[in-house]
């Protein structure tokens, strides 16, 4: 059967679009571990599925009519057209660095798996380059003191130990301003114990590459970060600036929805979007004005029953997925749709290899921190995994990693004792 005809077969069941990662996209295929780069191979092996789950790198979305009856959606992907009556957008968000000069060129984002791998690669190179007592200490700067920035800074400081310093800069006067008090206090304890320096009430005005001066002196650190006071009440003049020198700069502030160009701008916006570029949905998670299109996650904008915007967090997206799955089924079968109701179950944050903070919403004033918080956080993640098979695989992976880390720690301790018998 031609691929075009095979694609049309899916028009009655719908197409799910989800960005799988920053650079890798594919289509569901049981023979390829559900991520197949070959669209035709995926279609040939997924005929028994009730829904087509597509991971698309780029697309043009055109609204038309399917078989001269109900309104439908035609998708054009790499010149291949296929039609669907139902569409779910779950494309997420990515770091926005274009708001400060030099951030795109010199700051590392921290919002995807590819970002984490790149950070780890560059850190390893930096650690090898600055190995030895005669080398200057490593200096890392994290821009942003929200959950993401604090978690990253705590983990980096734990990794560096006494080989360097980590600094956090943020426009706010406090860290994790939206976090429960217990989580914020636990974060302060960890950051203080690891020597993380907090530079608050300032904003980054530019990130520059360090260059040699007229006398030929080459700076020890390759990047400079210029900071300015964020408010008029600061003790420093508004036009004054602070310069931080850094080996690496990490960017954790600002985000933008990952949407196709036809939605982002260029004068063509088939879906209603707000000022931040998020798709506006109603309380049933349908895109406003498009009853056959659903959207969930960080790329959407929805208010709660108190008329407050829902936060762009994994907890919100996870709960939206349950409602959206039901509402999509209900819409296909002409059943009533459920209005989405977000339930805040609490907040968790990781603060290093064996440190975390967990505050649950149903017990006031109780925060689990340290090793206990770390265990509670992992148990919560295991519970939320979709199948028992996933739970077993992930649990075994964690156990093996923990055992290896423990053995490595014991070996390091014995080596130090052997080298210092006194």
Which contacts qualify for 23-31: CB closer than 8 Å, 24 or more apart?
Answer: 23/114, 25/55, 25/56, 25/57, 26/55, 27/52, 27/53, 27/54, 27/55, 28/52, 28/53, 28/54, 28/55
What residue spans in the chain does CATH classification 3.50.50.60 cover? Answer: 95-254
φ, ψ for residue 79 (rounded to 5)? Answer: 70, 0
Token reading at 400: 């093996």
Nearest to 224 by CA among 166, 141, 127: 141
Token reading at 410: 């014991």
Strand order in the sheet with 242-246: 202-209, 223-229, 242-246
Contact 343, 319 (CB under 8 A): yes
Average pLDDT per run of 10 along the chain, which is 422 residues long? Answer: 33 36 36 43 40 36 37 51 71 84 92 88 92 87 93 94 92 90 92 94 90 59 89 57 91 80 52 81 90 87 87 86 89 90 89 89 83 88 82 86 81 76 58
Query: What burial class does residue 74 get, using C-beta atoms within 10 Å of its C-beta: 0-12 exposed, 13-18 middle, 19+ buried?
Result: middle
Cα→Cα distances 364→181, 306, 339, 397, Å: 11, 21, 28, 33
* Residues forming beta bridges with residue 168, ordered by sequence position: 142, 198
- How far apart CA 360 and CA 327 sit, in angstroms, is 28
Q: pTM for the whole thing?
A: 0.75
- What per-residue confidence (pLDDT) applies to 133? 79
DSSP letters spanning 120-161: HHHHHHHHHHT-STTSPPEEEEEE--SHHHHHHHHHHHHHHG
One of 3.40.720.10, 3.50.50.60, 3.40.50.410, 1.50.10.10 is the CATH number of 95-254, namely 3.50.50.60
Count of residues in the chain:
422
- How far apart CA 84 and CA 75 sit, in angstroms, is 8
- What per-residue confidence (pLDDT) applies to 94? 81
- What per-residue confidence (pLDDT) applies to 333? 87
- How far apart CA 359 and CA 350 sit, in angstroms, is 12
- What per-residue confidence (pLDDT) applies to 406? 80
Nearest to 150 by CA among 99, 184, 119: 184
- Distance between terminal CA atoms of the chain? 79
CATH architecture of 3-93+256-332: 3-Layer(bba) Sandwich (3.50)
Nearest to 300 by CA among 19, 95, 93, 87: 93
- How far apart CA 370 and CA 193 sit, in angstroms, is 12
Token reading at 391: 């739970």
Q: Are strands 15-18 and 52-54 parallel, antiparallel or unpaired?
A: parallel
- How far apart CA 231 and CA 235 sit, in angstroms, is 9
φ, ψ for residue 57 (rounded to 5)? Answer: -85, -40
Sign of the Cα torsion 377, 346, 176, 195 reads negative
- How far apart CA 161 and CA 412 sit, in angstroms, is 14
């Amino acid at each position: 059967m031609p691929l075009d005809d095979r694609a049309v077969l899916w028009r009655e069941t719908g197409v799910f679009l989800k960005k799988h990662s920053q650079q890798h996209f594919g289509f569901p295929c049981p023979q390829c571990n559900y991520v197949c780069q070959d669209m035709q191979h995926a279609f040939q092996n997924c005929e028994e599925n009730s829904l087509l789950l597509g991971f698309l790198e780029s697309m043009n979305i055109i609204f038309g009519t399917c078989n001269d009856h109900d309104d439908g959606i035609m998708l054009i992907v790499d010149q291949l057209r296929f039609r669907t009556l139902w569409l779910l957008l779950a494309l997420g968000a990515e770091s926005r660095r274009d708001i400060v000069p030099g951030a795109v060129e010199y700051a590392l984002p921290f919002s995807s798996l590819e970002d984490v791998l790149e950070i780890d690669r560059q850190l390893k190179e930096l650690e090898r380059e600055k190995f030895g007592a005669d080398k200057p200490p490593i200096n890392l700067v994290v821009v942003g003191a929200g959950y993401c920035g604090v978690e990253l800074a705590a983990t980096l400081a734990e990794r560096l130990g006494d080989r360097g310093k980590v600094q956090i800069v943020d426009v706010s006067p406090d860290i994790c301003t939206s976090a429960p008090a217990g989580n914020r206090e636990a974060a302060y304890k960890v950051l203080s114990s690891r020597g993380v320096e907090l530079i608050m009430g300032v904003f980054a005005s530019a990130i520059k590459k360090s260059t040699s001066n007229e006398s030929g002196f080459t700076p020890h650190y390759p990047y400079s970060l210029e900071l300015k006071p964020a408010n008029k009440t600061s003790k420093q003049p508004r036009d004054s600036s602070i310069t931080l020198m850094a080996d690496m700069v990490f960017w954790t502030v600002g985000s933008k929805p990952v949407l196709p160009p036809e939605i982002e701008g260029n004068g063509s916006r088939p879906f209603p979007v707000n000022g931040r570029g998020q798709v506006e949905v109603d309380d049933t998670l349908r895109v406003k004005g498009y009853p056959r299109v659903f959207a969930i996650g960080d790329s959407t904008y929805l208010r709660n029953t108190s008329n407050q915007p829902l936060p762009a967090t994994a907890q919100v997206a996870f709960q939206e997925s349950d409602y959206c799955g039901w509402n999509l089924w209900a819409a296909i079968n002409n059943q009533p749709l459920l209005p989405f109701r977000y339930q805040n179950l609490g907040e968790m944050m990781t603060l290093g290899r064996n440190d975390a903070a967990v505050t649950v919403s149903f017990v006031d004033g109780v925060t689990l921190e340290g090793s206990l918080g770390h265990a509670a956080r992992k148990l919560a993640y295991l519970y939320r995994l979709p199948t028992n098979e996933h739970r077993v695989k992930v649990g075994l992976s964690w156990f093996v990693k923990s055992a290896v880390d423990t053995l490595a720690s014991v070996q390091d301790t014995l080596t130090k004792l052997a080298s210092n018998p006194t």
